[in-house]
Amino acid sequence: MICAGIDGGSRAIKIVLLECGTCKTVAAGVRDQGVHHDRLAHELLKRLLAKAGLKRRQLRRTVATGYTRNAITFADTTVTEITCHAAGVRHAVRDAATVIEIGGQDSKLLRLGPDGSVRDFAMNDRCAAGTGRFLEVVASRLGVGLGDLDHLAHKARSPAPISSMCVVFAETEIIGLLASGVRPADIVAGVQASIASRVAAMVGRGASPPVIFTGGVAMIPGMADALAAALKTPVRVAPDPQMTGAVGAALLACRQA
Are 226 and 249 found together in one domain? no
CA distances (Å), origin 227, targets 130, 173, 257: 12, 22, 38
C-alpha distances in angstroms, 255 versus 6, 18, 252? 15, 12, 5
Q: Taking each helix axis from N to C terminus, what angle separates 132-142 and 184-203, rounded to the nearest 10 degrees?
A: 170
Task: List pLDDT tens digits, range 12-70.
Answer: 999 999 999 999 999 999 999 988 999 999 999 999 999 999 999 999 999 999 999 99
Q: What angle do CA 238, 65, 68 make, to 5 degrees?
A: 120
Print the domain residue range for 63: 2-88+243-256
Please answer whether residues 52 and 36 qualify as being in contact, where contact means their C-beta atoms are separated by less than 8 angstroms.
Answer: no
Are residues 114 and 41 part of one domain? no
Q: What is the pLDDT of residue 134?
A: 80
CATH number for the domain spanning 211: value is 3.30.420.40
Is 61 in the same domain as 154? Answer: no
Residues 18, 62: Cα–Cα separation, whole Å: 10
Which of 113, 62, 126 shows the shortest CA–CA distance to 86?
113
77 forms beta bridges with 63
Provide the residue type at 70 as one letter. N
| Total number of domains in the chain | 2
Do 203 and 115 sit in the same domain of this protein? yes
Task: Say whether both 136 and 189 belong to one domain.
Answer: yes
**Same domain, yes or no: 215 and 247:** no
Instruction: Estimate the crossing angle of helix 132-142 against helix 167-179, to 10 degrees.
Output: 30
Has residue 142 got a pLDDT over 90? Answer: no
The 10s digit of each residue's pLDDT in 91-107 is 999 999 999 999 877 88
Report residue 51 CA to chain centroid gap: 25
How far is residue 88's CA from residue 78's CA, in Å, rounded to a whole number?
Answer: 15
Percent of the chain with pLDDT over 90: 61
Is residue 133 located within the same domain as residue 233? yes
* pTM (predicted TM-score): 0.89
195: pLDDT strictly greater than 80: yes
